[in-house]
Amino acid sequence: MNTATLFGLCGAILIGLGLYGALTHPQPLRKLIAFNLLGSGIFLVFGAIARRGAWGTVGGDPVPQALVITAIVVAFAATAMAVALLERILKEGGQTTLDPDAPAGVITERRDR
Protein backbone atom coordinates (compact mmCIF):
# COMPACT_ATOMS: atom_id res chain seq x y z
CA MET A 1 0.00 0.00 0.00
CA ASN A 2 1.50 3.35 -0.95
CA THR A 3 1.07 6.60 0.97
CA ALA A 4 -1.61 8.02 -1.30
CA THR A 5 -3.82 4.96 -0.82
CA LEU A 6 -3.29 5.09 2.94
CA PHE A 7 -4.32 8.74 3.10
CA GLY A 8 -7.25 8.04 0.81
CA LEU A 9 -8.48 5.30 3.15
CA CYS A 10 -8.05 7.59 6.16
CA GLY A 11 -10.14 10.15 4.32
CA ALA A 12 -12.80 7.54 3.64
CA ILE A 13 -12.95 6.65 7.35
CA LEU A 14 -13.29 10.31 8.30
CA ILE A 15 -16.08 10.72 5.74
CA GLY A 16 -17.90 7.73 7.20
CA LEU A 17 -17.53 9.00 10.77
CA GLY A 18 -18.61 12.49 9.80
CA LEU A 19 -21.63 11.30 7.86
CA TYR A 20 -22.69 9.04 10.73
CA GLY A 21 -22.36 11.87 13.23
CA ALA A 22 -24.16 14.39 11.06
CA LEU A 23 -27.10 12.07 10.56
CA THR A 24 -27.46 10.65 14.08
CA HIS A 25 -26.64 13.47 16.50
CA PRO A 26 -29.63 15.66 17.38
CA GLN A 27 -27.51 18.49 18.79
CA PRO A 28 -26.73 21.09 16.12
CA LEU A 29 -23.24 21.76 17.52
CA ARG A 30 -22.33 18.08 17.25
CA LYS A 31 -23.82 17.96 13.78
CA LEU A 32 -21.60 20.91 12.89
CA ILE A 33 -18.48 19.20 14.20
CA ALA A 34 -19.43 16.05 12.31
CA PHE A 35 -19.89 18.16 9.19
CA ASN A 36 -16.36 19.51 9.63
CA LEU A 37 -15.02 15.99 10.08
CA LEU A 38 -16.79 14.95 6.90
CA GLY A 39 -15.33 17.95 5.09
CA SER A 40 -11.83 17.15 6.32
CA GLY A 41 -12.22 13.61 5.04
CA ILE A 42 -13.14 14.92 1.61
CA PHE A 43 -10.17 17.27 1.58
CA LEU A 44 -7.89 14.39 2.54
CA VAL A 45 -9.27 12.22 -0.28
CA PHE A 46 -8.74 15.11 -2.66
CA GLY A 47 -5.18 15.46 -1.38
CA ALA A 48 -4.59 11.78 -2.03
CA ILE A 49 -5.93 12.24 -5.56
CA ALA A 50 -3.52 15.15 -6.03
CA ARG A 51 -0.61 13.03 -4.82
CA ARG A 52 -1.57 10.27 -7.24
CA GLY A 53 -1.15 12.78 -10.08
CA ALA A 54 2.54 13.29 -9.27
CA TRP A 55 4.95 13.07 -12.18
CA GLY A 56 8.65 13.79 -12.69
CA THR A 57 9.85 16.40 -10.25
CA VAL A 58 6.33 17.66 -9.56
CA GLY A 59 5.16 16.28 -6.21
CA GLY A 60 1.48 16.31 -7.06
CA ASP A 61 -1.31 17.53 -9.30
CA PRO A 62 -1.71 21.22 -8.38
CA VAL A 63 -5.38 21.55 -9.38
CA PRO A 64 -6.86 19.65 -6.37
CA GLN A 65 -4.65 21.66 -4.03
CA ALA A 66 -6.07 24.91 -5.38
CA LEU A 67 -9.60 23.54 -5.12
CA VAL A 68 -9.10 22.26 -1.57
CA ILE A 69 -8.00 25.70 -0.40
CA THR A 70 -11.20 27.18 -1.84
CA ALA A 71 -13.28 24.42 -0.29
CA ILE A 72 -11.68 25.00 3.12
CA VAL A 73 -12.58 28.68 2.94
CA VAL A 74 -16.16 27.78 2.03
CA ALA A 75 -16.41 25.22 4.85
CA PHE A 76 -14.98 27.76 7.29
CA ALA A 77 -17.54 30.36 6.23
CA ALA A 78 -20.34 27.80 6.55
CA THR A 79 -19.20 26.81 10.04
CA ALA A 80 -18.94 30.42 11.12
CA MET A 81 -22.44 31.10 9.89
CA ALA A 82 -23.87 28.05 11.65
CA VAL A 83 -22.15 28.98 14.92
CA ALA A 84 -23.46 32.53 14.66
CA LEU A 85 -26.99 31.24 14.10
CA LEU A 86 -26.62 28.84 17.00
CA GLU A 87 -25.45 31.62 19.29
CA ARG A 88 -28.44 33.75 18.32
CA ILE A 89 -30.79 30.83 18.97
CA LEU A 90 -29.28 30.39 22.44
CA LYS A 91 -29.73 34.10 23.10
CA GLU A 92 -33.33 34.25 21.85
CA GLY A 93 -34.72 30.90 22.94
CA GLY A 94 -32.38 29.77 25.72
CA GLN A 95 -31.58 26.41 24.16
CA THR A 96 -29.40 25.00 21.42
CA THR A 97 -31.51 22.15 20.20
CA LEU A 98 -33.71 22.13 17.12
CA ASP A 99 -36.16 19.80 18.80
CA PRO A 100 -38.76 21.91 20.65
CA ASP A 101 -39.63 19.07 23.06
CA ALA A 102 -36.07 18.14 23.98
CA PRO A 103 -34.90 18.77 27.55
CA ALA A 104 -32.40 21.57 27.89
CA GLY A 105 -28.93 20.37 26.95
CA VAL A 106 -25.58 20.72 28.65
CA ILE A 107 -24.81 23.93 26.81
CA THR A 108 -27.95 25.56 28.12
CA GLU A 109 -26.90 24.95 31.70
CA ARG A 110 -23.55 26.60 31.13
CA ARG A 111 -25.28 29.80 30.22
CA ASP A 112 -25.16 31.19 33.75
CA ARG A 113 -21.37 31.09 33.96
Partner 1 sequence: MSGPGAVDVAMTTPGGAWLVAALAWPVIAILLMIAGGGRHAARIALASMPVGVAVAGAIAIRVLPEGEALVYLVGGWAPPLGIALRADALSAVMMLTTAIVICGAGLYAYADFGPKSGKPETRVSLVFWTLLIAVWGAMNLIVTGHDLFNLYVALELLTFAAVPLVSLDGRAATLSAALRYLMFALLGSVLYLLGAVLLYGAYGTLDITLLAARVQPEPAAWVAAALMTAGLLAKTALFPLHLWLPPAHAGAPPAASAVLSALVVKGSFFLVIRLWFEVMPALWSFSATQLIAALGAAAILYGSVLALRQERLKLLIAYSTVAQIGYLFLMFPLAFDPATAQLQGGVALTGGLLQTVSHAFAKAGMFMAAGLIATALGHDRVADLAGVARALPISVFAFGLAGLSLVGLPPSGGFVAKWLLLSAAVSTGQWWWAAVLVIGGLLTGGYVMLVLIRAMSAAAAPIVPLKPVARSREGVALAMSLCAVLLGLLALGPIELPAFAVTTP
Residues forming contacts to partner 1 in the complex (CB under 8 A) are 15, 22, 28, 31-32, 35, 38-39, 42, 45-46, 49, 52-53, 63-64, 67, 70-71, 74-75, 77-78, 81-82, 85-86, 88-89, 92-93, 98
Q: Report, in Å, the least distance between residue 97 CB and partner 1.
A: 9
Taking the least distance from each CB to partner 1, the nearer of 59 and 88 is 88
Closer CB to partner 1, 59 or 80, in the complex: 80
Taking the C-alpha atoms of residue 73 and residue 56, their distance in angstroms, rounded to an integer, is 30
In the complex, the smallest distance separating the C-beta of residue 105 from partner 1, rounded to whole angstroms, is: 14
Q: Which long-range contacts (CB under 8 A, 24 or more apart) does 10-17 make?
A: 10/41, 10/44, 11/41, 11/42, 11/43, 11/44, 11/45, 11/46, 11/47, 11/48, 12/41, 12/45, 13/41, 14/38, 14/40, 14/41, 14/44, 15/41, 15/42, 15/45, 16/41, 17/41
Nearest-approach distance from CB 53 to partner 1, in angstroms: 8
Q: Closest approach of Cβ 22 to partner 1, in Å?
A: 6
